[in-house]
């Protein structure tokens, strides 16, 4: 792929944690990728407590192939398919059950004014990937920068979804905006992930370029109340 000038870029990421591991716990991570349409692939994860086999988290992601020089999406060729998918499952296998699947839920367009914000975020060199773009971990951190402190103090992150819409590079300046999402309940097919509504808070997020205002990411987070 590299010789052909082709790269994978993230299109969507959805992570759910049903139970956080404690000190000394051993976590087993199972992951696999598979073809997803003509220009894409997906990678799924299942996290288990090794001691008892309990599923404590799941994640899924969608990626599209891009020509590194033209920045245009590229169809997956037979040569790339033979290289990338040779060890992948031949029949579709998904980390999340099809019924009540929160990973498919759309994130709406957000409008000003934001209820919470953190402005003027600047990428560091450590925030860049091998293609010199801001990496996925940094985007998650930027989203969390505009979460209100009282939520950080009293809740823990249960679910995060990010839709990736534009590339962000080393010289960009980013604003992180957060909005309360009213009247919504998380749905993800797990007994661990459905606390009482009064114990759960849900937010919508937007990362955008400062000044121009173009969207970089849209996001959604769900927070459950900490057990004291």
Provide the annotated active-site residues: 131, 133, 168
Give me the long-range contacts of 205-208 (CB less than 8 A, separation at least 24): 205/110, 205/143, 205/146, 205/176, 205/177, 205/178, 205/179, 206/110, 206/114, 206/176, 206/177, 206/179, 207/139, 207/142, 207/143, 207/168, 207/174, 207/175, 207/176, 207/177, 208/174, 208/175, 208/177
Phi, psi for residue 13 in degrees, rounded to 5:
-135, 135
Which stretches within the chain are classed as H helix?
78-84, 136-145, 149-154
> What SS3 class is residue 49?
strand
> What SS3 class is residue 133?
strand
> Is the Cβ–Cβ distance between 199 and 225 less than 8 Å?
yes
Residue linked to tokens 């000044």? 211
Q: Beta-strand (E) ranges in the chain?
A: 6-17, 27-35, 40-49, 55-67, 116-121, 155-164, 174-180, 200-209, 215-225
């Amino acid at each position: 792929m590299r010789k052909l000038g082709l790269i994978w870029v993230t299109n969507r990421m959805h992570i759910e944690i049903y139970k956080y591991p404690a000190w000394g716990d051993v976590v087993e991570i199972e992951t696999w990728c598979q073809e997803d349409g003509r220009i894409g692939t997906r990678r799924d994860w299942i996290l288990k407590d090794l001691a008892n086999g309990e599923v404590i988290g799941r994640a899924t992601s969608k990626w599209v192939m891009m020509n590194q020089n033209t920045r245009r999406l590229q169809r997956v060729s037979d040569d790339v398919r033979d290289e990338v998918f040779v060890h992948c499952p031949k029949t579709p296998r998904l980390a999340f059950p099809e019924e009540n699947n929160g990973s498919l839920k759309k994130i709406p367009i957000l409008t000003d004014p934001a209820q919470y914000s953190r402005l003027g975020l600047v990428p560091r060199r450590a925030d860049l990937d091998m293609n010199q773009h801001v990496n996925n971990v940094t985007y998650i951190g930027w989203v969390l920068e505009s979460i209100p402190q009282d939520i950080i103090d009293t809740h823990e992150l249960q679910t995060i979804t990010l839709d990736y819409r534009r590339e962000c590079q080393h010289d960009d300046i980013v604003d992180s905006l957060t909005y309360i999402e009213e009247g919504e309940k998380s749905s993800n097919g797990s007994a661990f992930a459905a606390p009482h509504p009064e114990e759960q808070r849900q937010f919508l997020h937007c990362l955008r370029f400062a000044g121009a205002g173009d969207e970089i990411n849209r996001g959604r987070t769900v927070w459950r109340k900490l057990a004291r």
